[in-house]
Amino acid sequence: MKRIVIILDGLGDLPCKELNGKTPLEAAHKPNLDFLAENGKTGMMYPIKKGWAPESDQAMISMLGFDVFKTYTGRGVLEAYGSGIDFKGCIVSRCNFSKVEKGVITQVQGANEEESKSLAEQLNSLMKYAKIVPTIGYRAVLLIKSKSSPRVSNTHPGYIITKNYCSQAKQVAGKTLKVQKCKALVPAAKETAEMINHITQLSEQNLKGFTLITRGTGNKLPKLKKLKGKWALLADMPVEKAIGEIVGMKVLPKYADLNKTFEVIKWSFEEFDNFYLQVKGPDAFGHKGLVKEKVASIEEIDKEFISKIRELPFDTICVTADHSTPCSMKSHSEHPTPFLVYGKGKDPVKEFSEKACSKGSLGFFEGKKLLKII
């Protein structure tokens, strides 16, 4: 059996005024996704659970069949591990530099890759017990040499820890955003919170127009069982690569050029039973509130990639998302994501969209059931 799971990051959305009440997925010309939906089974998936606005890494762990509330240990360690950074003996936070003006964050993902490197060098020169290492794009990790507990809150205003190490996204569109004070969630984490707050203060005092924000603090990798069968992973982000390696997937090259990515799958087809692919496109435009660009991203994926995947002799093709990123909210939301599985029978649904899939035979379900369904 040959299977592929295609995760279109941030695909789900809400009706948009710019599209006359349609979602970007409804408005997009996507004949190949519609073909798979019309000849497959559909439904709506809560990546983690109903009412939860998930982060991508937590959603991936859930969709691979694990209880994220019991296994997840923070985004920082996954970012470090997936980037090949040694974090032994350290407390690790995923971090980035945000643009600020008079104490208000004007751009959360403020610094680009080159700016992040320069800002990290400036801040590192002021610290003895901590170090910032840029990873990809605006992302970086903060490494703190300490044996204290990592159980602290995020300073990132867009994500709040609500259960164990798991956090939920908060709506940022139209909000006045400020860096949150890091708080100890357990008494043993008081020192960690104090150090992160001191580093934040250093950034605000010494980095002109920028401040450091942190999230997903931890100090150990999650313990996840190896998946059955031979799995290949194609993903853009370090956190997804880290999860893939932990569960026994072989990480293959993933390109921004979907044609190149397809060629990787094509030439690796006989080697693996299962492929897991993460496509970042729609999410980025959802975060920026760019409706037409999100539509164009979906259409490009359908034309340049899904059309070619149909040519390969997969027994099962699954397409869904790790979360919804509505353009009107500019953040991850609790809304379920459209789901299709081709090769496991069919239902009356004729197209791939939020509204159509809500009437599918699979109904509404949690992400931990994904592998069982396919």
To the question of domain 3-68+224-373 being in CATH 3.40.720.10, the answer is yes
The amino acid at residue 28 is A
pLDDT tens-digit map of 348-365:
999 999 999 999 999 999
Give the pTM: 0.95
Beta-sheet strands, E only, within 75-185 = 90-101, 104-107, 130-134, 139-145, 159-163, 166-169
Q: pLDDT band at 134, cuts 50/70/90?
A: very high
In the chain, the amino acid numbered 158 is: G
Average pLDDT, stretch 64-68? Answer: 97
Within 10 A of 349 (CB to CB), how many other CB atoms are there? 25
Rounded-to-integer distance, Cα 294 and Cα 275, Å: 25
pLDDT at 122 over 80: yes
> What pLDDT was estimated at residue 103?
87
Give the pLDDT of residue 109. Answer: 87
Cα→Cα distances 319→6, 32, 248, 324, Å = 5, 11, 22, 14
* pLDDT tens for each residue of 256-306: 999 999 999 999 999 999 999 999 889 999 999 999 999 999 999 999 999
> Where are the domains positioned within the chain?
3-68+224-373, 75-218
Q: What is the pLDDT of residues 70-80, one digit of tens each?
A: 999 999 999 99
Mean pLDDT of the chain: 96
pLDDT at residue 23, as a whole number = 98
Give the confidence band of 182 by pLDDT, cuts at 50, 70, 90.
very high
Instruction: Report helix angle 238-246 to 56-63, nearest 10.
Output: 30
347, pLDDT greater than 80: yes
In this predicted structure, what is the pLDDT of residue 44? 98
